[in-house]
Structure formats: structure tokens, C-alpha cells
Amino acid sequence: MDIPVVFTLSSLYILAILCCCSQGQSPPYEAECVEGKYPPPSSRRVKEYVVNLDLPGKERWKHVAAEKKQEIKNILASFKKYIYDFGGIAAEIWYLIDLLGPAIVDVLPQPFQDEIRGISDVTGIEIGEVTLYNIFYEIFTVCTSIVAQDSNGTLYHARNLDFGLFMGWDPKNRTWEITELLRPAIVNLDFQRGGKTVFKSVNYAGYVGILTAISPGKFTLTMNERFTLDGGYIGIINLILTGKGTWMGFLTRATMEKAESFKEARAMLTSTQMIAPAYFILAGNTSGQACVITRNREVNGTDTWWMKEAGGWYVLETNYDHWSKPLFVDDRRTPANKCMKKLTQKGVGIPGIFDVLSSRPVLNKLTTYTALMQVNQGHLETWLQYCPDPCFPW
């Protein structure tokens, strides 16, 4: 089997990083704590759309899908090329996704079945591919989430969403192909019933689940991927064999629609069997009400790490269990903690946290956006992020 050139080049670059670290040399970037990065240029602010939950599922996403049709097609075309470059069974799997798409979507819960059908109708993309688009975020994301409390007890919740590792390294521009294609597809969404906001979120257009969201006045939520051997592929097989398990994005969407409080949201996120493990970073509307929920696929083994246990005024999660050391080539946690401590509790606010999330290597080549939330004000703002060289590839 021929090895794709993009994979070979990205692998060589990563091997170079590993060699530097194993020989005690510094990787080709400098950890930093930047200041004065907020606000970014207005051109980087993400546009907001309304999703009307009173409409039938097939009608809800028409305007977003129509406006972002080409962006969604570009993402899937790149992902498809990446799969076909491997040939063999990988290409056959994609063929089966196209062939069995209608049957695959039939096993999803409502309203997600109809919403995905509606997106497929508007974009003209095969329904199996739209379904795949709605589940592969459970497998490939790396992120940094922070909940911090200012000196008055006000909570701020923010996150970087990084996506595209190993998916097409462009040696000329030194970027990840999927990461570059995802940025134009980022949208802010205001989910409404009866003309009133139920919750707000940040999504890649065409994705109906939730990775970043705020229920105004109630709680905020972000999801970070958790890498374990008991991962998403095993969960998918278990779902096929037993019918047990919930897609992470559908669980978070249901939580945002149904939970009326931090307590109810926490109960939903800790008591539902999942297809893939995850970290849920959850914050409420009162001082100290913030935690990281570390989830297995099964409900057993769930760990809740509270802000007061993390140091009192903030809690920070990347993609590693808080009781374990991060992978030495992907230690965003130590620089992020360093920058938070430099910021101090007095500096907590939208500008200060944005600076922390704009500091390399918390900001890296995979970072697509930074979202900033304040629950009491119902505030959500999202900015496209870029990391010019020198910058770590993940």
C-alpha cells in the first residue's frame, strides 16, 4: 500500500519534534504568555444565526446549510481524499457509508435523523457523509477549556477548539488542511423556541451536536476529547451489537435543550452511557460552581473534579486526566496554568482569558476558534484563531 505524501511529511515533522524532546532539546516553539490580544480584528468575529426549534427537524438548518454549503462540501471532500489516499479497506468503508447512508441515519434518535436529512437535501451531499460529518468530531478533537472566577465571584468559561491532527499537513504553508477548511464553516447559533433563546452554541456548519454552548443565566458547557483504549470505535461496535450508547454530541445537545440548571445538566452528563469517553467542562451561575467531569463510555468510573479542588479560582482541562501527566509532546496544560497564574484572579475577564488562550502552545496550528462565555449575562462571543510561525503543529 502506498503511503500518502501528506501523511509521510506530517509524520516526519512530528518525528523531528519527538527526537528534539527525547534528546533534551526544546521543540521549535517558545511557550509564551501574551497580553493585549483582545479584541482581535473584527474580521475574525464569527457570525450568528438563529435555529428555530419550533420548525420541523428537516427545516431547521436550511438557511445555515444553504449559506455554508460549499464550506461543508470542501471539508468532506478533503476528508474523503484523505481516506481514499490510504486505499484498501479505508476506501471501502467510505463506499459503504455512501451506499448504506439512509440505513445509517435511520438508527439515529430524533430530531437528529430529520435534521441530518434536511442538511443533506439542501447541500446535495450524500446522507451517509453528512452522518459521518456529525460523528467524527468525537474521534479527532483536541482542546483547552478554562472556567475562571474573578474577584467578585463572577464565572467566565472559555475554550480553544483544535481539530485536524494528522489530516493533511501542507508543508508549503505549514498548516493542517482540515483545520484551514473548518474555519470558514464556524458559526454561532442561537437556538430559539417561541422567539426566545433556549441556548447558544458554537458549531461547524452542518454539525447538529454541541461542543461549546451556554444556557443564558443557567450554565455553560464545553466538551474535550478523552483519549483512552476504550475509545469511540469500540463504542460504535458496542452500539451496533447491543443498541446501548449515546453519541456525545447528541447527549450535549439534549442537555442544552432540557436541563434547567447546573445540577440537572451535571446529572445528565454523568448518568448516560456513551459511545466515546469525554471530558465535560461545566459551569453554573454562582461562585465556585464549576467542574470537569471525566467520563468513561460506561457510567461507572465517572470522576468530578471541582474548581475548589483545582486551586480555588479556576479549573483547566486539555485532553488528559487531571490526575495524570499530559503526553510530553502535547503539554498545553503546563503553559496554560503558567499563564493563568501570571494573569492572577484580579485579571480574570474576557480580555485576560482570551490572552491565555492566545498564548503558544495553547494556541497552535490546530486551533480553529476561541469562544468566550459569561453565564449571568448570557454572553457568547467567538473568534477565528490563527497561529503564525513559529508555532507548534498541535
Catalytic amino acids? 143
Fill in the DSSP letter of residue 249.
H
DSSP 362-376: TS-TTEEEEEEEETT
| Dist. CA 316–CA 149, nearest whole Å | 12
Give Cα 70 distance to the centre of its chain: 21
At 85 the three-state DSSP class reads helix
- Position 280: which residue type? F
Distance CA 94, CA 88 (A): 10
Distance (Å, whole) CA 377 – CA 291: 20
CA nearest 382: which of 47, 23, 27? 47
Single-letter amino acid code for the residue at 386: Y
Coarse DSSP helix, strand, coil percentages of the chain, rounded to the nearest 5 percent: 40, 25, 35
Distances (CA, A) of 239 to 80, 165, 254, 295: 24, 26, 19, 17
| Residue 109 cell numbers, joined | 434518535
C-alpha to C-alpha distance for 157 and 265, rounded to whole angstroms? 16
Strand, coil or helix: 324: coil
The count of residues in the chain is: 394
